[in-house]
Amino acid sequence: MNVICWAKLLGGTMAMLKNEFGFDKVYLLNQDVAWDRGTAGVMAKKIFHELGYEVIGHDQFPTGFSDFSSALMKAKARGPVSCHLF
């Protein structure tokens, strides 16, 4: 799946989550590689903004990283949020 299709799919999913459950905040987690940094950046600046989401945090992790507990605790501390790992 290419990045454009992925962004459209995620945008539709996020619109549904907002409409069905009232989510309006998002915390982004992405792998620290070029395509993923770009995707997360476009999602944060364009897609989530257009959908009315507030991006309350963003962390990047090196390839192979597996302990996301610190980032998830930061997201939880900032209130009800939809957290996405790219």
The residue extents of the domains of the chain are: 25-85
| H-helix or E-strand spanning residue 31 | strand 25-31
**pLDDT tens track for 7-22:** 788 889 999 999 998 8
| Token representation of residue 34 | 């070029």
Torsional sign, CA 42, 46, 49, 52: negative
Partners of residue 27 on adjacent β-strands = 57, 83
- What are 50-73's pLDDT values in tens digits? 999 999 999 999 999 999 999 888
pTM: 0.79
Superfamily (CATH H level) for 25-85:
Response regulator (3.40.50.2300)
Closest CA to 57 of 28, 33, 82: 28
Does 84 have pLDDT greater than 70? no
